Amino acid sequence: VRNPLLVPDLRELIRAGESPALVDFFQGMHPARVGEILDDLGPGDGDAVVGLLPPRGRAEVMSYIGPEDQARLVEAMAPGDVAELLHFMAHDDRANLVRRLEPEFVEPILRKLAHAEREDIRRLASYEPGTAGAVMTTDYATLAPELTARDALDRLRREAPDRETIDTSYVVGPDHRLIGQVSLKRLILAPPMARVERIMEHEPAFARVDEDQEEVVHKIGRYDLIAIPVVDADDRLVGIVTHDDALDIQRRAQTEDLLAFGGVTTEPGADDAPYWQGSVTSVVRRRIKWLAMLFFAEGLTGSVLRHYQHVETRLPDLALFVPLLIGTGGNAGSQTVGTIIRALSLGEVHPRDAYRVLVREWLTALLLGLLLGALGFVYAMLIRRESAAFAAVIGLTILGICLWANTIGALVPLLARKFGIDPAVVSAPLITTLVDATGLVIYYSIAITLLLHR
Amino acid sequence: VRNPLLVPDLRELIRAGESPALVDFFQGMHPARVGEILDDLGPGDGDAVVGLLPPRGRAEVMSYIGPEDQARLVEAMAPGDVAELLHFMAHDDRANLVRRLEPEFVEPILRKLAHAEREDIRRLASYEPGTAGAVMTTDYATLAPELTARDALDRLRREAPDRETIDTSYVVGPDHRLIGQVSLKRLILAPPMARVERIMEHEPAFARVDEDQEEVVHKIGRYDLIAIPVVDADDRLVGIVTHDDALDIQRRAQTEDLLAFGGVTTEPGADDAPYWQGSVTSVVRRRIKWLAMLFFAEGLTGSVLRHYQHVETRLPDLALFVPLLIGTGGNAGSQTVGTIIRALSLGEVHPRDAYRVLVREWLTALLLGLLLGALGFVYAMLIRRESAAFAAVIGLTILGICLWANTIGALVPLLARKFGIDPAVVSAPLITTLVDATGLVIYYSIAITLLLHR
């Protein structure tokens, strides 16, 4: 609860039916803030407040509350009120809302809207999730190239009250083809009789309607854009993606990387489900895939240990160090894979740098291995009271496993990127598992050489 | 190389000294694109191209090339040219550049600039990295509250050519105190004689100059802002942070989370160093801390195994399954911690939900444990040819370890957040290590009960 002092007072006003006081309180408040208070009030009292807001204010608040809350509110409203709400809502948000509602519920409501508005909603709601189309809005200003700056300003002035923003206008030719863009600043500075086509920016950056959202965000970031125009296969302007959506998409995409790195799931779009949404069985279905796959890979450790069981019977203490050694290898590998995935995602490292990366990671592993190996030697001798030769096996194995773990941790994401796989699918569990079985081979080979073959 | 076809042609033009053709080629190109081509050309030829750009174009390109490239270019330029470059550069980017240059080099250059410009650079360069101050720009338009809309527009029209943007103007009172903001759209729509104070937005969202950058990004995202004004301790307007910087800061912060989750480092700011920067020893110094700490925690597994060594001598095959069992626990724990850190960072889960989260993760673990346990039972009986009782131990241990791993994986990040620690410091290696020793206790307890105490 972000407003611990406010909420009880508001609840009291709601109970007492003090509608004018409530309307007054929310008047002129930023819709994001209203949304937070609604969240704090919870469904019951929150919905009562929404009922008191004027149509436009209610529509604005919808953009700042969760999808489930939107659906619940709308399903409790009269069809006419829903139609009015959709009319005032941001174009992209209302399309998303309609997409989530049952067709039997929403169709009669859409029929109450003007033809153009209904078509706009239907079209926006029809784009594939994850594409530019699914996140763009159709609320933008267009200008014809032959207009004068003065006429263009007059036109924008007339349209502005209905537009979210007029900071940038898109210049379209016949068939709504995108031919340029012009900022409001440029129009104001231009001589009044200058034609738009003379002052506009030609060849602005644009996105395709079926382009991946993350690619669109990348363009917005690369060119520092407030909005990027989106065109269809025939170069016709069909929408814009704005900077605030870019911030949102980026945030979702990067927490998606966290899921992949944790080995939860690498399915694109699996991230879209909020934590509480979906049944436990759907969560299990998502997680079991990686776990079962890693289980079988980890099964290899059983074969390795079985293969060396004759060594184990002669040196039973070897088994005591197995979790420590493969755990250290897994940790070193996780560090490397985290570092490399980040460097790949920031564009600091490319697959063609593989050799340089390996040299750097080997040097790092060499130093880390020597330090941790010395630690392991001391630990084995002083705390576990093993012989010096035995402790040397532990120290050398740590060095060997660190070198191997850093090799795997660096190579696997680089190879993934090289073969067009998102390096973020290379999870910490995957690297840990890969290092486990091979780490055991290193361990027993060193032990046999130093302790049995002397 | 993003422009494989372009680069050889450009190199030829540079070799042939075809400056007019080169100037023509880069004329009117977006500075982001010029920056990419410079990157592809490499230092030698790239720097030659920069030398040909007009002063303003050169300054714009600086915002789109890496810090090392900026420093190298500037250090090769005549002091007068550097001063001119700084004059035209974006205010935030030039402050960052100056911050990175040697004082002996930069001081004589700053003295060539106008007093106000010099002070602006010094002040911006002095803010603590990671704060709003360190990322804000001072290139914004201000208006007095008593101006009429018409006068305000006239004023903006005069100033616009020197300003990056005039989409939003900040309304300041005496002492430069922030009292409101007004969009260009609003000024255009207002009656010409309406005073700014009547049409401005009162109490706009703002940030403090010493506020954490990620907090600033959060506000920009929450209110869908193009820019947020930044004020000092006396509420005086000192800068703005723009949407493109927000996108940048968020990207860096989230790849920082990846480093933390990989167990590389949790030092804030350690992420600022690009992959190739810094010596291998500095990398080792960063990574060894976690590795050594986890090494000692992992050392506990040795004590556990030693404690159960008498069981081991009677049932030598138990050791064969140790890596498989603790590996599976670590993987299940990594999944849970990844999921919870993400849900915390998206605000879907709060520490007060701990109980609900645990119930959900337990249910998930129960199902996962039953499925993987069945898998483990079959694997032990059919592939490893153990007895049914032995296989039952494996199956039950997997179930127990999954429940335990999900408990740890959910609780640790929730507790971290509760005690004000960034949950992202809870790394996959930490959870894996915590699960290892305790997982062994579960394993041997079940084995003793089922196989020895019958």
3-state secondary structure B160-208: HHHCCCCCEEEEECHHHEEEEEEEHHHHHHCCCCCEHHHHCEECCCCEE
DSSP assignment letter at A113? S
With beta carbons less than 8 A apart as the criterion, state whether A270 and A286 touch: yes
DSSP assignment letter at A101? S
Asked whether the beta carbons of residue A185 and residue B165 sit closer than 8 angstroms, the reply is: yes
Which chain B residues are Cβ-neighbours of A184 within 8 angstroms?
167, 184-185, 188
Across B51-60, B225-234, B340-349, least confident range: B340-349
Closest to B65 (Cα-Cα) out of A322, A251, A67, A347: A347
Q: Has residue B267 got a pLDDT over 90?
A: no
DSSP A260-278: HHTTS---TTGGGS-TTSS
Nearest CA distance, A104 vs chain B (angstrom): 30
Burial environment of residue A188 by CB neighbours within 10 A (0 to 12, 13 to 18, 19 or more): middle
CA closest to A438 among chain B residues? B323
Asked whether the beta carbons of residue B313 and residue A316 sit closer than 8 angstroms, the reply is: yes
Tell me what pLDDT residue A316 has: 87
N-terminal to C-terminal alpha carbon distance within chain A: 69
Amino acid at B170: Y
- For residue A191, what are the β-bridge partners? none
Burial environment of residue B8 by CB neighbours within 10 A (0 to 12, 13 to 18, 19 or more): exposed
Nearest CA distance, B256 vs chain A (angstrom): 8
Closest to B38 (Cα-Cα) out of B55, B58, B56: B58
With beta carbons less than 8 A apart as the criterion, state whether B263 and B290 touch: yes
Tell me how far apart the alpha carbons of residues A102 and B397 are, in angstroms, rounded to a whole number. Answer: 45
Tell me what pLDDT residue A268 has: 55
Kindly report the number of other CB atoms within 10 A of residue B130's CB atom: 18
Tell me what pLDDT residue B166 has: 87
**Tokens 């990056």 identify what position?**
B164
| A255 against B343, higher pLDDT | B343
* SS3 per residue for A10-76: HHHHHHCCCHHHHHHHHCCCCHHHHHHHHHHHHHHHHHHHHHHCCHHHHHHHHCCCCHHHHHHHHHC
Amino acid at B370: L
% of chain B exceeding 70 in pLDDT: 96
Burial environment of residue A135 by CB neighbours within 10 A (0 to 12, 13 to 18, 19 or more): buried
Q: Has residue B358 got a pLDDT over 90?
A: yes
CA closest to A191 among chain B residues? B157
* Low-confidence residues of chain A: pLDDT under 50: none
Nearest CA distance, B104 vs chain A (angstrom): 30
User: CB pairs under 8 A, 24+ apart, for B12-21?
Assistant: B14/B41, B14/B45, B14/B48, B14/B49, B19/B52
Nearest CA distance, B385 vs chain A (angstrom): 12
For residue A24, give both structure tokens.
């007054």
Q: Has residue B297 got a pLDDT over 70?
A: yes
Question: ∠ CA(A189), CA(A195), CA(A197), 5° rounding?
Answer: 100
Tell me what pLDDT residue A197 has: 93
**Tokens 């799931």 identify what position?**
A265
Tell me what pLDDT residue B266 has: 61
CA closest to A324 among chain B residues? B298
Asked whether the beta carbons of residue A302 and residue B313 sit closer than 8 angstroms, the reply is: no
Residue pLDDT, tens place only, B418-435 = 888 877 677 788 888 889
CA closest to A185 among chain B residues? B166
Closest to B190 (Cα-Cα) out of B146, B147, B152, B149: B149
Closest to B152 (Cα-Cα) out of B173, B171, B137, B126: B171
Nearest CB among A261, A368, A375 relative to B258 is that of A261
For residue B385, give both structure tokens.
């040819």
Q: Has residue B414 got a pLDDT over 60?
A: yes
Tell me what pLDDT residue B116 has: 87
CA closest to A326 among chain B residues? B323
> What confidence tier does B286 reach under pLDDT thresholds 50, 70, 90?
confident
Asked whether the beta carbons of residue B302 and residue A313 sit closer than 8 angstroms, the reply is: no
Tell me what pLDDT residue A5 has: 72
Tell me the average pLDDT across B292-318.
89
- For residue A237, what are the β-bridge partners? A231
**Tokens 């803030």 identify what position?**
A33
Which is it for strands B141-143 and B168-172: parallel, antiparallel or unpaired? parallel
Closest to B135 (Cα-Cα) out of B43, B73, B196, B212: B212
Tell me the Cα Rg of chain A. 30
3-class secondary-structure state, position A397: helix
Asked whether the beta carbons of residue B264 and residue A338 sit closer than 8 angstroms, the reply is: yes
Closest to B135 (Cα-Cα) out of B72, B215, B203: B215
Residue pLDDT, tens place only, B39-95 = 888 888 888 888 889 988 899 999 888 888 898 888 888 888 999 999 999 888 998
Question: ∠ CA(B301), CA(B305), CA(B310), 5° rounding?
Answer: 170
Interface A-B, measured as beta-carbon pairs within 8 A, has a size of 351
Nearest CB among A326, A331, A368 relative to B294 is that of A331
Tell me what pLDDT residue B273 has: 67
Which chain A residues are Cβ-neighbours of B258 within 8 angstroms?
257-258, 261, 338, 341-342, 345
Tell me the average pLDDT of chain B.
Answer: 88
Mutation target vs A (from B335, B352, B402, B436; most A CBs, 10 A cutoff)? B335
Tell me what pLDDT residue B442 has: 95
Nearest CB among A205, A295, A368 relative to B288 is that of A368
Q: Has residue B454 got a pLDDT over 70?
A: no
Closest to B410 (Cα-Cα) out of B360, B366, B347, B346: B360
Tell me how far apart the alpha carbons of residues B424 and B149 are, in angstroms, rounded to a whole number. Answer: 48
Asked whether the beta carbons of residue B284 and residue A224 sit closer than 8 angstroms, the reply is: no
Asked whether the beta carbons of residue B244 and residue A243 sit closer than 8 angstroms, the reply is: yes
Our CA dihedral for A314, A317, A323, A325, rounded to 10 degrees, sits at -90
Nearest CB among B305, B334, B346 relative to A263 is that of B334
Nearest CA distance, B173 vs chain A (angstrom): 22
Complex ipTM, two decimals?
Answer: 0.78
Asked whether the beta carbons of residue B243 and residue A247 sit closer than 8 angstroms, the reply is: yes
Nearest CA distance, B271 vs chain A (angstrom): 10
Tell me the average pLDDT across B400-404.
96
**Tokens 């069985």 identify what position?**
A281
Asked whether the beta carbons of residue A292 and residue B372 sit closer than 8 angstroms, the reply is: yes
Which chain A residues are Cβ-neighbours of B224 within 8 angstroms?
32, 244
Residues 6 or more apart whose Cβ sits within 8 Å of residue B296: none
Q: Has residue B169 got a pLDDT over 80?
A: yes
Q: Has residue B405 got a pLDDT over 90?
A: yes
Nearest CA distance, A107 vs chain B (angstrom): 31
DSSP assignment letter at B269? T
DSSP assignment letter at A207? E
Nearest CB among B290, B338, B432 relative to A327 is that of B432
3-class secondary-structure state, position A3: coil
Tell me the average pLDDT across B186-195.
91
Which is it for strands B237-242 and B227-231: parallel, antiparallel or unpaired? antiparallel
Tell me how far apart the alpha carbons of residues B241 and B138 are, in angstroms, rounded to a whole number. Answer: 9
Q: What share of chain B is helix, strand, coil (3-state, %, to 5)?
A: 70, 10, 25
With beta carbons less than 8 A apart as the criterion, state whether B205 and B146 touch: no
| B268 against A175, higher pLDDT | A175
Tell me how far apart the alpha carbons of residues B204 and A377 are, in angstroms, rounded to a whole number. Answer: 62
With beta carbons less than 8 A apart as the criterion, state whether A386 and A451 touch: no
Asked whether the beta carbons of residue A184 and residue B167 sit closer than 8 angstroms, the reply is: yes
**Tokens 């027993």 identify what position?**
A444
With beta carbons less than 8 A apart as the criterion, state whether A112 and A67 touch: no
Which chain B residues are Cβ-neighbours of A222 within 8 angstroms?
32
Burial environment of residue A200 by CB neighbours within 10 A (0 to 12, 13 to 18, 19 or more): buried
Residues 6 or more apart whose Cβ sits within 8 Å of residue A256: A268, A270, A271, A424
Asked whether the beta carbons of residue B301 and residue A254 sit closer than 8 angstroms, the reply is: no
Question: At A244, which helix (H) or strand (E)?
Answer: helix A243-261
Crossing angle of helices B354-378 and B388-418, rounded to 10°: 160
Tell me the average pLDDT across B271-278.
70
Nearest CA distance, B1 vs chain A (angstrom): 10
Asked whether the beta carbons of residue A372 and residue B288 sit closer than 8 angstroms, the reply is: yes
CA closest to B185 among chain A residues? A166
What strand order describes the sheet that includes A168-172? A141-143, A168-172, A178-183, A201-202
Helical residues (DSSP H) of B101-168, grouped into ranges: 103-110, 115-125, 149-159
Nearest CA distance, A283 vs chain B (angstrom): 7
Nearest CB among B262, B368, B437 relative to A284 is that of B368
Using alpha carbons, list the distances in angstroms from residue B37 to B31, B45, B47, B61.
10, 10, 11, 11
Tell me what pLDDT residue B429 has: 84
Across A270-284, B53-67, B330-344, B370-384, least confident range: A270-284
Tell me how far apart the alpha carbons of residues A238 and A236 are, in angstroms, rounded to a whole number. Answer: 6
3-class secondary-structure state, position A421: coil
Which chain B residues are Cβ-neighbours of A189 within 8 angstroms?
157, 160-161
Nearest CA distance, A8 vs chain B (angstrom): 19
Which is it for strands A237-242 and B141-143: parallel, antiparallel or unpaired? unpaired
Tell me what pLDDT residue B270 has: 54
Tell me the average pLDDT across B215-234.
92
N-terminal to C-terminal alpha carbon distance within chain B: 69
Q: What share of chain A is helix, strand, coil (3-state, %, to 5)?
A: 70, 10, 25
